[in-house]
Amino acid sequence: MNISGMNMQIINPTKADEDSFMRDNHCVIPDTLSQTILNVHGEVGRHWLNQLPHFLKSLVKQWNFKIERSCANLSFNFVVSNTW
């Protein structure tokens, strides 16, 4: 799947795993971001939003960093602050 040049492997994580990872890492996908992604990309955007927690989790594992929190007031990009 590709949105704005970012390829994401489609996987099927459990909803509980996604929720736990997002909560533990203080990540919130703002409603404004979700709505923009859905309006612009439709079903592909819905899949991208559903895959985002797993994608973040794989980046954390691959690059060995810690997510501090997600940024607020996002409308088109998902941004997190992190530490190494």
> 3-class DSSP state for residue 22?
helix
**What's the pTM value of the predicted model, to 2 decimals?**
0.71
What's residue 70's pLDDT? 87
Residue 25 has pLDDT above 70, yes or no: yes
Model confidence pLDDT, tens digit, residues 34-81: 999 999 999 999 999 999 988 998 999 999 998 988 888 888 888 988
Q: How far apart are the first and last CA of the chain?
A: 28
